[in-house]
Structure 1
Amino acid sequence: MSDYDGDEQWDIFLVSPSTGQVVNLTNTREIAEESPTWSPDGRYLAYMVKPKTSSVFEIDVYDTLMRETRHLTSGTAKNKMNVSPIWSRDGKWIVYTQQQAKGTDSNIFVAEVANGKSTLLTPHQGEQLYAANDFSPDGKQVLITANAANGYDNVALLDIASTKISWLTQDKWEISGGNFSSDSKSITWTANVDGNTDIYLHDIASGKTTSLPLPKGVNQVGGAESAFTRNGSRLLYYHNGPNAPNDVWIYSLADDKTRQITHALVAGVRAEDMVEPFLVHYPSRDGKWTISALVYVPYNLPRQAVSPAIVYVHGGPTSQTVNSFSRIIQYMVNQGYIVIAPNYRGSTGYGKEFQQANLFDMGGGDLQDVLAAADWIKQTGYVDPKKLILMGGSYGGYMTMMGVTKAPDVWAAGVPIVPFVNWFTEIENEDPVLQQSDLATMGDPVKNKALFEDRSPIYFIDRIKAPLLLLAGGHDPRCPKTEAQQVVDAIKKRGGVVEYKVYENEGHGFARVENQIDAYKRVAEFLKAHVPPADCGCSLNE
């Protein structure tokens, strides 16, 4: 897939393995096609499709032989979307997940490919999340992930004929389904335990579950259709740790040995120069939650309360900072900055109640959790309390702007990356899918005008004391550059300190290497000018 300079209007491309010839299969400038998956016979492609002005994802099936497209789903309500099509092994059925815009409810459907007739497999009362992961080889069951058992994501087998659900796990961490082995004897799933993800192998006959002996970090089952080799003897997985980006590994079931296939670290960059984080926990300010955070401390940093620290806020908000490789965090740590990355209320990974705790309260309790991260890092003995920096992208950029306006005395500098700052204009101008999501999680902007104003940093620009660096993408459909521009114009009008860079050939985040390098350098130079690191010998540049 490829879009146009980050606008997320994706097209699907075919590449000849023999000649390398590339063909734009869909070639629809105003329609996005995503998540293509081949039928078992290699003739058909199923994928998600959404016109630019629509808030709904439907599922289409493309016949590569006849070069014809037909709709598998159609007429879906504007506050729902159909995602993640999965083929049965005989190619006669597709199972898919239908999500509600609010993100608190979803269902699994199975569709007959020949006629497009869909059948609901997960009827339920109340709000519950169900997602399909894989068809069993005999086509009788679906491996699913759902939070219906105890409010946490767990793995189960869904019988298609009876719609009966048999739970395989009932843990209080985030468990996600993987694949069936080709012989139907085994199932994989992953368990995200406070930011570290392990892969498990479950023997269906005996019920025995084994944790694979894999490196610490984030491990995910790989493969386009299945992680298992055809004979089931080996398993493809991806490993991503704090000291190296995503690599492909092979696990042998016979001898429990792993082998690294790719090496993503570029020459001259050493894994041992990367800093492994500490996992810490602290109470929320209101006492309702225990907040998890990763803390990165530069090597050789003296405990003398002279160093600056960055509170790095993840986006989403339904996302999570995990123990994986972060270019921007490692770059800043290697400049001599301590980093704390909190998983505030609303983050994934900690159950339904925690994830939904910021609904209709965006920029409220979650901001207090971010401020509590600043409280915690100041107590470590490493940090000068007057040298705190707030940084984040997307919703993390929004939280950065909320922080520097609602708690202006805390921060020495702020770096909002692809932020939004005004709930009214954000909902008016963002992609229609996100518009439905924001309306479902913040309410109606007319009825909830007071809330929208209170949670829009643009109305409190006059409170800002910290210098800001804003970075934006010229084709961003999620947080348009006009959001950041509002901040720049308002700060300049009142004579404040602000720097601004728009990457015109980027979208929501920076995909081009040259832009990534430029952005990271800008951040480092900006922070060194306003909040320089201590002269401690803890930076690779010293």
Structure 2
Amino acid sequence: MPLEQTNLMDHVIATAGGSAAAPDAADRDAPPPAPAPVPVRMPDHRSADPPTLLTAHGCWYPSANPTGEHVAFICDRSGVPQLWSGPARGDGAHVLDGDPDPVTEVSWSPDGRWIAYTSAPGGGEHTRVLVVRPDGTGRQVLAGAEPGSSAHLGCWTRDGTALAVTVAQPSASGSEHTGAGHLPADADGAPAGPGAKAPGAAWSERGGPATLLGAGTANRAPAPDPAAPAQAAAGRPVPDVGPVRSGGLAAYLVDPDGANAPVLLYGEEGAASLRVCDTSPDGRFALVRRGPRGRREALVLDTASGRTTFALHVADGDPWIGRFSADARTVWLRSDTDREFAALLKVRLDEEGAGRAVSVAVERDRSALDLLSVPDHGRWALLAWNVHGATELESVGLPLADEDGGVGPRHRPVLPHEVVTRIAPLERGGLFAALAGSRRRPGIWELDQGLVPARAGWSARDEDAVPPGRPPVRPVPLRCRARDGLTLGGWYYRAPGRDPGRPAPCVIHLHGGPEEQERPVFSPLYHELLGRGLDVFAPDVRGSSGWGRSFVDADLGDGRFAAIDDVADCAAHVVALGYADPVRLGVMGRSYGGYLTMASLVWHPDLFRAGVAVCGMSDFSTFFAGTEPWIAQSATAKYGHPEHDRELLRALSPMSRVDQLRAPVLAVHGEHDTNVPPTESEQFVRAARERGVPARQLTLRNEGHEFLRADNRRLYRRAAADWLERHLDPTPPP
């Protein structure tokens, strides 16, 4: 049977002796880490386009059908990100799912019959995976329909007959938390099962000048790998395997036509992340990304047995880490193993899927590979490089199946905007790219085979992609030095009409992650603040991506105290340059940036006159107790273990120093945020008020950790700008 016609689900079921979910004989009687998803039919969306269409809107996350004639994408013209589809050329885009639930990812099936997408009911963290036919019929929830569950999108099989989904299941006790921050119950007790190590014993050291804090073990559903010696020889520990307990992640193959039962590919107890990124054309292997932040790894799985045949560290960032070649003898990976910046790696596999050789195929000096996309035929790869926050796009030829050479010719198009956020390659050549820039909201461009960009007809023009009234501000890059000598980067936005020789009120804005990076893309929030006469400095403090792996690791352990000092050092730098007024400084940020905002207000109480903390952690103990199990597991790798590192986490928590708070603070939170629960803002605001410090909380309805609805985003921007304008007094003195 030709490779392109092989049905992976048939292959797995047949080779597993007819069982739909049997990774290994030793595990066939054990319950899976999460129940198999049950598809649920939904009403077809047949209404006209939403009645309220925003002129200033964005389009992003393109995915083309096999012919490249139509594109599915996300668009917020209705005020909420929804699934749309349109022709590659010309107008005529239309909504495929008119529900008010925000859409976050899109993937058109290789056979063209289905479009898969992820949505977030209520805007929260419990997402679900749906499919719909290109004409808007046949809509159904493939995974995540069960109460309390969550599902994430994986890849399609190469023939389009099945979709990989990751299912997260709450603890067996229902909504009750178990253990320290949902972590495995053996965190401070005996090992969990056969072969399990003592608590923390399975943790390996990170690269860079980092000290990794303690953690529990990760137990997987597949049986121990006979190829483990090869993994050990590659310099990585072989994970222990034990029985699956509550709070796990599981990857299934689901047939949207319902002809086959879901097939379990892989499961892991206490998992931090899990995504199936690709399957080989012959159905024998799957490429999986798993692991906590800073310790992600790529696994090659034998789909029949569930065994790991190869594993390698891969970079954080975009979860779509790589693809198999057409003959499944090569895996192309985006990885920063043994290096500062992610590059394109070539991994040669033998017939059993074990790694024969790993080599660097394409790399750049002091630039990381952000995005990697390879068409099914595997004749070329599309690479997006992060160059100090901006993107350089590149197309490189790949060797054919019977070749063993390096990459071929390289082509670099000139892009109309600074940052590429998504690449959708076309089998016939060319691609669709989602572009964002400092002077427009995201849009979608088609690049033909000569890589000449042309904006899609239904994607907003540059002049229509920003609110009318005042032009966006193009930021300037700034570098400054922290008190310990580490060089920090960032972008400075000057309010229009401001006298360049007069210091201005300035807001230090801190991004989330902390592994995110400040990039030169249009920010409606910055646009609002600048319109109020407030400058904005958006730095990358230690822990941010884009500046090398050692920089990302520099905030681990007690290095987080230095990250808090970085905020003060950035403020001091813009004051020293004469840009910012030292008595009119504000600080704000979202997620980890919200934590840093609260930390900066209590560690440097006399520096800032006001703060806005958005979805931030105020106490690590309550954060770990309230967040999702897989988020807790991943956060442990970054911040520390809630039991083993209790004293450090207490010392790092803003609540431990709230008596030092002097500046008025506004806290903003989404009501359905289960990443950082709203109680983190509530307790900080309550403590501030008890001490006589002005404090307020804004809770946004039908939002989670991200604010995705236009009316709520507008309310948030205006409330934050009102608060900072009131306390920083941007009116220049006479």
What's the counterpart of residue 273 of structure 1? 471
The counterpart of 2:151, out of the listed 33, 39, 55, is 33
CA 1:356/1:366 → structure 2, altered by over 3 Å: closer, same or farther? same
The counterpart of 1:203, out of the listed 389, 393, 397, is 397
Q: Do residues 63 (structure 1) and 255 (structure 2) align?
A: yes
Q: Do residues 348 (structure 1) and 545 (structure 2) align?
A: yes
Paired residues for 1:399-478 under 5 Å: 399-478=596-675
What's the counterpart of residue 517 of structure 2? 320
Contact 2:249 2:269 in 1 (8 A): no
What's the counterpart of residue 299 of structure 1? 496
CA 1:264/1:367 → structure 2, altered by over 3 Å: closer, same or farther? farther
What's the counterpart of residue 260 of structure 1? 455
What's the counterpart of residue 540 of structure 1? none
What's the counterpart of residue 164 of structure 2? 46
Moved more, 359-368 or 201-210: 201-210
The counterpart of 2:556, out of the listed 350, 359, 362, is 359
Q: Do residues 132 (structure 1) and 321 (structure 2) align?
A: yes
Q: Do residues 242 (structure 1) and 432 (structure 2) align?
A: no
What's the counterpart of residue 525 of structure 1? 722
What's the counterpart of residue 174 of structure 1? 368
- C-alpha displacement of 1:122: 3.0
What's the counterpart of residue 214 of structure 2? none
What's the counterpart of residue 106 of structure 1? 296
Between the aligned partners of 1:199 and 1:380, the Cα distance in structure 2 is: 34
- C-alpha displacement of 1:242: 0.9
- C-alpha displacement of 1:475: 1.4
Moved more, 244-253 or 174-183: 174-183
User: Any idea what the Cα deviations from partners look like across 1:161-194, whole Å, max 9, x if unmatched?
Assistant: 2431221233322114523345543221111011
User: Any idea what the Cα deviations from partners look like across 1:253-285, whole Å, max 9, x if unmatched?
Assistant: 33x421011117657735971111111111111
User: Any idea what the Cα deviations from partners look like across 1:221-260, whole Å, max 9, x if unmatched?
Assistant: 522xxx1x2222x221111111112111111233x42101
Aligned residue type for 1:284: A
Contact 2:277 2:320 in 1 (8 A): no
Contact 2:555 2:562 in 1 (8 A): yes
- C-alpha displacement of 1:459: 2.0
TM-score by length of 1: 0.90
More RCO (CA 8 Å, sep 6+): 2
**Alignment: residue pair count:** 523
CA 1:474/1:183 → structure 2, altered by over 3 Å: closer, same or farther? closer
CA 1:296/1:84 → structure 2, altered by over 3 Å: closer, same or farther? farther
CA 1:80/1:120 → structure 2, altered by over 3 Å: closer, same or farther? farther
Moved more, 189-198 or 36-45: 36-45
Contact 1:131 1:146 in 2 (8 A): no
What's the counterpart of residue 96 of structure 1? 288
- C-alpha displacement of 1:119: 2.8
SS for the counterpart of 1:212 is: coil
Give the root-mean-square deviation of aligned CA atoms: 2.5
What's the counterpart of residue 495 of structure 1? 692
- C-alpha displacement of 1:462: 2.0
Contact 1:363 1:402 in 2 (8 A): no
Consecutive unaligned residues of structure 1, counting only runs of 5 or more, are 537-542
Aligned residue type for 2:142: L
Between the aligned partners of 2:261 and 2:504, the Cα distance in structure 1 is: 62
Identity %: 24
- C-alpha displacement of 1:93: 3.3
Contact 2:513 2:591 in 1 (8 A): yes
CA 1:416/1:88 → structure 2, altered by over 3 Å: closer, same or farther? same
CA 1:269/1:441 → structure 2, altered by over 3 Å: closer, same or farther? closer
User: Any idea what the Cα deviations from partners look like across 1:441-466, whole Å, max 9, x if unmatched?
Assistant: 33344443432222111122221111
Between the aligned partners of 1:72 and 1:403, the Cα distance in structure 2 is: 45
Paired residues for 1:158-237 under 5 Å: 158-161=347-350, 162-171=355-364, 172-181=366-375, 183-204=377-398, 207-223=408-424, 227=425, 229-232=426-429, 234-237=430-433
Aligned residue type for 1:208: P
Between the aligned partners of 1:483 and 1:521, the Cα distance in structure 2 is: 22
- C-alpha displacement of 1:136: 1.9
Between the aligned partners of 2:320 and 2:710, the Cα distance in structure 1 is: 34
SS for the counterpart of 1:163 is: strand
Q: Do residues 24 (structure 1) and 218 (structure 2) align?
A: no
Contact 1:143 1:177 in 2 (8 A): no
- C-alpha displacement of 1:133: 1.4
Q: Do residues 85 (structure 1) and 277 (structure 2) align?
A: yes
Moved more, 65-74 or 103-112: 103-112
Aligned residue type for 2:127: W
Between the aligned partners of 1:320 and 1:267, the Cα distance in structure 2 is: 23
Between the aligned partners of 2:411 and 2:631, the Cα distance in structure 1 is: 39
- C-alpha displacement of 1:503: 1.6
The counterpart of 1:283, out of the listed 457, 481, 491, is 481
